[in-house]
Structure 1
Amino acid sequence: MAKNLDKANKEAEQNVKAFLDKVANTPAPAKSGNAGRLIFALDATASRQPTWDQASHLQREMFNTAAEVGKLELQIAFFRGFGEFKATRWTQDSRSLTRPLSKVSCLGGQTQIEKVLKHTLKQTTEKPVNALVYVGDSIEEDVDHLCHLAGQIGMKGVPVFIFQEGYDPIAEACFKQICRLTNGAFCRFDAGSAAYLRSLLKAVAIFAAGGKKALRDYSKNAGGEILLLSNQIK
């Protein structure tokens, strides 16, 4: 059992390092003096219920940390149940997102990643989006169609960072394709890797808010995975 635990820990470390390597090589978002814009999308179907509260809490930490190093506008999007998809208004005030997100509970239904990607395309057409973060565990849609949409997002210059809960190999293959097509990055996590997820979400938020320089500055005191990321940036 101890041997299996060591193997799982080693795999988690390699997974994190690969993710950070990819973020380090992601082109920095173009800055125009305006706040960076990041969409944080969540699968709120029934299979996500066990970790929904954790994801919501980590989102707030991510937003608050990024706000300390640069302006960041955040929009929360989620899908659940029978065709339900919702997105909050854009805001720089994390407190305004706490109440609506705390009222959301998971409902059974199929994934609606297509709506997340189409929403991202629409938003960045109206005003550039610096990054999309998606947290989910499975895919129940046409993979080729999702990849086609991802290609369009990639052409818009919006990297997609996907955090997959669990070990669904079909979903993982598609998620990696989406990240590749958008020049984003992929990372798996489970209920025992909250610390990893927290660090990686903060890294993406800081990247969206201030680019690579902001990551370097933040890493001076952050250490850990964030320091590893910063050291890889030339």
Structure 2
Amino acid sequence: MSDPIIAVEHVTRAVTDSTGTLTILHDIDFQLPRRQSTAIVGASGSGKSTLLALIAGLDHPTSGTVRLDGEDIFALDEDARAGLRARKLGFVFQSFQLLGHLTALENVMLPLELLGRRDARARAADMLQRVGLGARLGHHPRTLSGGEQQRVALARAFVVEPAVLLADEPTGSLDHATGETVMALMFEMNRESGTTLVLVTHDRSIAARCDRQLHIEAGRLLPQAG
């Protein structure tokens, strides 16, 4: 068996303020193999999004660590961690996180340009065509519907051919029908690219479409069935 693409090793995350210490995650430990889709499921406030931020190296654990493709991300400085994210990770957020002053094409080009890709424009245009937005390249986010904005976000995430796609409640801002369309596209693109998908959701019907589910309750990973 190949080495896991993600290894979360006994991670605890706690925050302290004037009222005391709150432990958000308690000794989370698991591994994810390459090319698998995994749903992290739990109620609001269970710690799902905090765990995703730790996997991405956007937050720091109080104890434990995360390895991405064998590399201890918290042994790296901030610049090196950002570089690793740019090379290995794609992101899709509930709030789309598009840059309003850039067109759809420019939003998708941006991660390629940051990697120094000279074919950024052509690749971005091809990817927007892939998500059904070939006629919307010059549109700014404010002129796009929510579903169209999330498809731009999908194009931006997949255009760099990431090893791992992290998605945080990607349908949370969409109506049911639009969300279904976006999720079908995400799973289809994920299969085509062979990306490892880590999906945070409270929607159990979406989670059921993944190869594996991890359930978090009050910051603790519940025992796996079987």
Q: TM-score range by the shorter chain?
A: 0.3 to 0.5
Judging by fraction of residues, say which structure has more strand: 2
Please, what TM-score do these two structures have when normalized by structure 1?
Answer: 0.35
Judging by fraction of residues, say which structure has more helix: 1
Larger Cα Rg: Structure 1 or Structure 2? 2
Please, what TM-score do these two structures have when normalized by structure 2?
Answer: 0.36
